Structure 1
Amino acid sequence: MNQTLSVILPAHNEAEYIQDCARALLASAPLPAGWQTDVVIVANGCTDTTVALANGFRDAAEHLGWSWKVLDLKQGGKLGALQAGDATATGTIRAYLDADVQLDPDLLPQIVKALSADVPLYASGSPRVSRASSWITRAYARCWATLPFVTTGVPGFGLFAVNAKGRARWHDWPDIISDDTFVRLSFAPTERIRVAAGYTWPMVEGFANLVKVRRRQNAGVDEIKRKFPELMQNDDTPGVPLSGKFRRLICDPIGFGMYVTVSLAVKTPLFRDKSHWARGR
């Protein structure tokens, strides 16, 4: 009997990104024998051409034997999009994908293999930051991409997946800032799997946006500490020792300097943004 991988893709005004994301998704290598693919794109509160562009890939998906559903929700908000996507999806394995991410062809097959076990599991790929337009973001990203959390952890930003027993760890999606952090911390480090295949993920452009998004990420972690303190026992985010900081300073003084500058600016009262929706980190 066939089993199903569901890819749930919330999209809010993603006309700039959705086509590249869909093309990369449809270029995925075949899943292991006995598996089929169910894609649920949840356009929420879109005022651009996201819905039309997403619907334009239906024939290509059906040619591959994939199910391709596009939901057009009038109300924006990632929480509602995740709830609607889960309610529509049929898969025993569920991958939650951001619309600005481009997957490597081997990533979904590797995730299915990693999660094909009768115990709760979480998986993601090896992330790469796409080349930014601004030198500020490029410099920041160079240092950020060397952090142990990024290079050896299973951070899950842009893409994470769980099997059926893993999805049973929570019921409805909580109304919180950082859904990806909530899911990651719902699993012990030994239950999280990083596969070799990767994906490309963009950072926001410019100093002010980097500070806003970094501040919001920090606020998301603080919110989880308040609302779900029991999850923090699963936080294994490694710090960077002094020797590692010195090495980064010597190897890339501009990148290290920009990363430190953004980190310090996050602690100032500037760049406040109370929205729950943010691209990149």
Structure 2
Amino acid sequence: MFNVILPAHDEADFIGETLDGLLAQDASAPEEMRVIVAANGCSDRTAEIAHRFAAPFATRGWELIVLDIPEGGKPGALNRADAEAGPGPRAYLDADVVCSPTLVGLLARALDEAEPRYASGIFTITPPKSLISRLYARLWLKVPFMTAGVPGCGLFAVNEAGRARWQDFPDIIADDLFVRLNFAPSERIRVDAPFTWVLAEGFGALVRVRRRWDTGNRQLLELRPDLAVNEEKAPVRPADHLRLLAGQPLSYLVYVAVAVASRFSVYDRASWARGR
């Protein structure tokens, strides 16, 4: 069985499109699939909207489980959903990610190995509405970290042997980085199918998100310095800066401004939101 785990906090505006993307998977998708929506701490209609997809999923022979969890928090939602999953590979995706029609089938094929494996697709961004976010996205997609390796931002999948690498998700911010660094670069696979992710809109929201990412990355490596051995993040060399500046000067300036501003802002985990 192929399991898809979807933690969702106040994602009423996005969860429908995410589930539509899963329903639109082509014939290469696994015959047996269980999708688990872990709605956590929601004050909107996320769980209600997800429940409406039970019949369409059943028509395809797939199971949809919706967990309405009163407590907020992504690690807790991931752990509750993991407890409902069956044996086999597991894909974890954010509730604002839309998979292309061939993605799940390619992930299942890539993970059909006895040895631990980690896989993701080709990361793309839904075109932002604000000019600042469009400029930021254009450059972000071209930095070495995003063009090399398997970043797994917003969507990553592991086979059963890979999931055995850790027990519960720890109470950390960077769950995606935690999972990726549990695998050596040689164990990571990028399949040739895209998925789209929603970027925060506007300068202030980008700064908050960037601050959260930076805080989460530091937190993880302080708690688990042993995982740093699996980091393959390509450094941004002076030549890379010049290339990016020459190719997209406005995008470069916005990207650097967000990075600098995030260093002078304070991350408040209790009040953080994606800034949509």
Alignment of 1:41 with 2:7, yes or no, is: no
Match of 2:244 in 1: 248
Indicate conservation of the 8 Å contact 1:122/1:184, yes or no: yes
Q: In 2, are the aligned partners of 1:40 and 1:69 still within 8 Å (CA)? A: yes
Which residue does 1:146 correspond to in 2? 142
| 2:223 corresponding residue in structure 1 | 227
1:262 to 258, 261, 264: 258
Structure 1 runs, 4 residues or longer, greater than 3 Å off: 275-280
Alpha-carbon distance between aligned partners in 2 of 1:150 and 1:136, rounded to the nearest angstrom: 19
Q: What does the per-residue CA deviation read over 1:116-172, in whole Å, with 9 as the maximum and x for residues that have no partner?
A: 000011000001011111111111111101012212221111110000110000001
5 Å-filtered alignment, 1:61-210, equals 61-210=57-206
Q: Pick closer, same or farther for the CA change 1:277–1:121 going to 2, 3 Å.
A: farther
CA distance in 2, matches of 1:157, 1:38: 22
Task: Give yes or no for contact 2:15–2:95 (8 Å, CA) kept in 1.
Answer: yes
Give the aligned residue type for 1:8: I
Distance 2:47 2:261 in 1: 37
Alignment of 1:56 onto 2:52: yes
Q: Distance in 2 between matches of 1:96 and 1:47?
A: 23
| Cα deviation, residue 274, structure 1 | 2.5
For residues 28-78 of structure 1, give each alpha carbon's deviation from its aligned partner in whole angstroms, at most 9, with x where no partner exists.
113467x41111111111111111110111110000000111111111111
SS in 1 for 2:65: strand
Mapped partners of 2:107, 2:59: distance in 1: 23
Query: Per-residue CA shift, 1:205-249, capped at 9, x if unaligned?
Result: 111111111111111111111111100000010012212211211
Give the alignment's Cα RMSD to 1 decimal.
1.5
Tell me the residue number matched to 2:22.
25
Match of 1:274 in 2: 269
Q: Following the alignment from structure 1 to structure 2, what is the Cα–Cα distance between the partners of residues 139 and 91?
A: 42
Q: Retained in 1: the 8 A contact 2:148–2:234?
A: no
Q: Tell me the amino acid that sits aligned with residue 197 of structure 2.
A: W
User: Runs of 5+ in structure 1 lacking a partner?
Assistant: none
Structure 2: any 5+ residue segments left out of the alignment?
none
CA contact (8 A) 1:101 1:200 kept: yes
Q: Pick closer, same or farther for the CA change 1:277–1:212 going to 2, 3 Å.
A: closer
1:7 aligned to which of 4, 9, 24? 4
CA distance in 2, matches of 1:100, 1:138: 17
Q: Aligned to 1:265, what secondary structure does the other structure show?
A: helix
Does structure 2 retain, via aligned residues, the 8 Å contact 1:42–1:81? yes
Q: 1:277 to 1:110 in 2, by over 3 A?
A: farther
Say which SS state the counterpart of residue 263 (structure 2) adopts. coil
**Any idea what the Cα deviations from partners look like across 1:181-208, whole Å, max 9, x if unmatched?**
0000010000111111010001101111
Q: Greater CA deviation, 24-33 or 138-147?
A: 24-33
Whichever residue aligns with residue 229 of structure 1, its letter is P
Per-residue deviation, 1:276: 8.2
Deviates more, 1:72-81 or 1:174-183: 72-81
- TM-score computed with the length of structure 2 as normaliser: 0.96
TM norm structure 1: 0.94
Aligned-pair CA distance for 1:272: 3.5
> C-alpha distance in 2, partners of 1:125/1:142?
18
Of all paired residues, the percent bearing the same amino acid is: 45
8 Å CA contact retained: 2:89, 2:111: yes
